[in-house]
């Protein structure tokens, strides 16, 4: 369970959002972390269909590679970690949170730890990041990139295409959900504090930027709203279609039978929990649970989630239900906190048994 938590933490380059913190970077001011001292790409024919590939790390258990692949007319960079032994292994597609690339994940970290446990981890950098072609679009073309890397990964001899999972946080949560809404099926998926409604997000950031509060958060909201205007071409009032096409369609997502966990901190100051609750309430069969900061089950309705009554079963729903919403008191837009770590562990508890389950009809 710990590897997935570390994977999400390492990718969360947007920064933590504690109300009492200081110096949290804004979406426009946070500097990308380049893949330092990476060797040049090699392209051995035996490793097709990756357009290019180079080994970053290899030991007795794991191979970690930087790869590139085509997403439409663009060449996109990504990372693959896989067991160094023969066989076909379950595939975890991880859509990272940051708008600036994989950052410290280029050093291996949890990607290798998960691979050592017998999984293939594929991590697209997305367009405009880490040397990929194109420019950052915000949960639009990035969905194309994630699906393209998913399809490429499943064509590899080490991938078990019958056992795949998707997971993403923040912007990456939006990417994962929109991939599912397109019809990409998996054994399970998890989205942690996903950005699902970009119009509501712009409104929230604009309103909070005008309110008194810590200077670092005020700047975060102001810069975030400005970045949406720049990337989307205007405000929701002037360019509503651009905001809508990047948002998660509950109607399309409802058509996909993939077991799904939505998880969100009740105190998230960057992406309000109400957006995830609205999405969950629009999906049939979602079972919500509510945990206190101590990890105890609560039946109290979370503010912003008035249409959802938490179950007394609590986190046991992760094992028994196919669509689950986890709400976490004290959870912010940060997986490094104790509550954030609990959220990430619960995500892996939801994904892992479904990935490991026997495939019906398999020999």
- 71-108 pLDDT, tens per residue? 999 999 999 999 999 999 999 999 999 888 998 888 88
pLDDT of amino acid 16: 35
Q: What is the pLDDT at residue 100? A: 86
User: Is the model more confident about 18 or about 320?
Assistant: 320
Once rounded to an integer, what is the mean pLDDT over residues 279-305? 97
> What was the pLDDT predicted at 48?
55
Q: Which CATH architecture has domain 2-197+247-356?
A: 3-Layer(aba) Sandwich (3.40)
Tell me, letter by letter, the H, E, C secondary structure of the chain: CHHHHHHHHHHCCCCCCCCCCCCCCCCCCCCCCCCCCCCCCECCHHHCCCCEEEEEEECCCEEEEEEEEEECCEEEEEEEEEECCCCCEEEEEEECCCCCCCHHHHHCHHHHHHHHCCCEEEEECCCCCCCCCCCCCCCCHHHHHHHHHHHHHHCCCCEEEEEEEEEEECHHHHHHHHHHHCCCCCCEEEEECCCCCHHHHHHHHHHHHCCCCCHHHHHHHHHHHHHHHHHHCCCCCCCHHHHHHHCCCHHHHHCCCCCEEEEEECCCCCCCHHHHHHHHHHCCCCEEEEECCCCCEECCCCCCCCCCCCCCCHHHHHHHCCEEEEEECCCCCCCCCHHHHHHHHHHHHHHHHHHHCCCCCCC
Does 116 score more than 70 pLDDT?
Answer: yes
Q: What percentage of the chain carries pLDDT values higher than 70? A: 86
Q: State yes or no: pLDDT of 2 exceeds 80.
A: no
User: How confident is the model at residue 359, as a pLDDT?
Assistant: 81
Q: What pLDDT digit, counting tens, does each position of 295-333 carry?
A: 999 999 999 999 999 999 999 999 999 999 999 999 999
Mean pLDDT of the chain: 88
- Examine the pLDDT at 67 and tell me if it is beyond 50: yes
pLDDT reported for residue 30: 39
Q: pLDDT digit string (tens) for 159-174?
A: 999 999 999 999 999 9
Domain range summary for the chain, segments of one domain joined by +: 2-197+247-356
The per-residue pLDDT for 324 is 98
State residue 278's pLDDT score: 97
40 pLDDT band, cuts 50/70/90, is low
């Amino acid at each position: 369970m710990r590897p997935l938590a570390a994977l999400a933490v390492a990718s969360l380059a947007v920064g933590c959002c504690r109300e009492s913190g200081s110096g949290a970077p804004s979406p426009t001011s946070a500097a990308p972390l380049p893949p330092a001292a990476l060797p040049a790409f090699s392209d051995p024919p035996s490793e097709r269909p990756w357009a290019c590939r180079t080994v970053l790390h290899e030991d007795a258990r794991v191979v970690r590679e930087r790869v590139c692949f085509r997403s439409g007319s663009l060449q996109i960079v990504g990372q693959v970690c896989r067991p160094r032994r023969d066989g076909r292994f379950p595939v975890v597609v991880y859509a990272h949170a940051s708008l600036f690339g994989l950052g410290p994940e280029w050093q291996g970290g949890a990607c290798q730890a998960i691979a050592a446990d017998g999984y293939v981890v594929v991590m697209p950098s997305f367009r405009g990041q880490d040397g990929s072609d194109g420019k950052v679009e915000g949960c639009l073309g990035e969905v194309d990139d994630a699906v393209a890397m998913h399809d490429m990964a499943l064509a590899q001899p080490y991938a078990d295409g019958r056992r795949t999972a998707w997971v993403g946080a923040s912007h990456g949560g939006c990417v994962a959900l929109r991939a599912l809404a397109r019809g990409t099926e998996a054994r399970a998926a998890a989205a942690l504090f996903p950005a699902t409604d970009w119009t509501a997000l712009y409104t929230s950031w604009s309103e909070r930027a005008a309110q008194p509060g810590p200077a670092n958060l005020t700047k975060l909201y102001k810069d975030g709203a400005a970045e949406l205007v720049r990337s989307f071409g205007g405000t929701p009032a002037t360019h509503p279609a651009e905001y809508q096409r990047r948002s998660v369609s509950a109607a399309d997502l409802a058509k996909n039978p993939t077991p799904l966990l939505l998880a969100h901190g009740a105190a998230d100051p960057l992406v309000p929990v109400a957006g995830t609750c609205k999405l969950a309430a629009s999906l049939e069969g979602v079972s919500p649970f509510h945990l206190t900061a101590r990890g105890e089950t609560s039946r109290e309705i979370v503010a912003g989630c008035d249409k959802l009554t938490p179950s007394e079963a609590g986190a046991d729903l992760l094992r028994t239900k196919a669509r689950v919403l986890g709400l976490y008191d004290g959870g912010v837009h940060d997986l490094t906190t104790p509550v954030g770590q609990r959220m990430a562990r619960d995500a892996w508890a939801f994904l892992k048994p479904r990935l490991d389950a026997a495939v019906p009809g398999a020999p």
